[in-house]
Amino acid sequence: MDIEGVLLTMYDGRLRLANQVVEEVKTHFQDMVFDTLIHRNTKLAEAPSFGKTIIMHDVAGKRLTAI
């Protein structure tokens, strides 16, 4: 089985540790790291308790960010 790439998730750009992890992963895996970060989002965890999808619960929320 081949690995196509590495997708970084639960990213919080306010945290120094998160940025260090991104740099470390890029250093070790280089071109295998996708140019997209999936941000940590508490609204995602809240949505089911409101009976809504994340898109309906957090209409203006961040989705994906290219790095």
The rounded distance, in Å, linking the Cα atoms of 15 and 36 is: 17
pLDDT, averaged per 10 consecutive residues of the chain (67 residues), comes to 92 94 96 91 86 86 56
Residue 13 DSSP symbol: T
pLDDT of amino acid 55: 84
| 35 in any annotated domain | yes
| 57 in any annotated domain | yes
pLDDT of amino acid 62: 63
pLDDT of amino acid 1: 87
pLDDT of amino acid 26: 96
Q: Which residues pair with 33 in a beta bridge?
A: 6
Calculate ∠ Cα 23-27-29, nearest 5°: 115
Domain count, the chain: 1
- Residue 13 sits in which domain range? 6-66
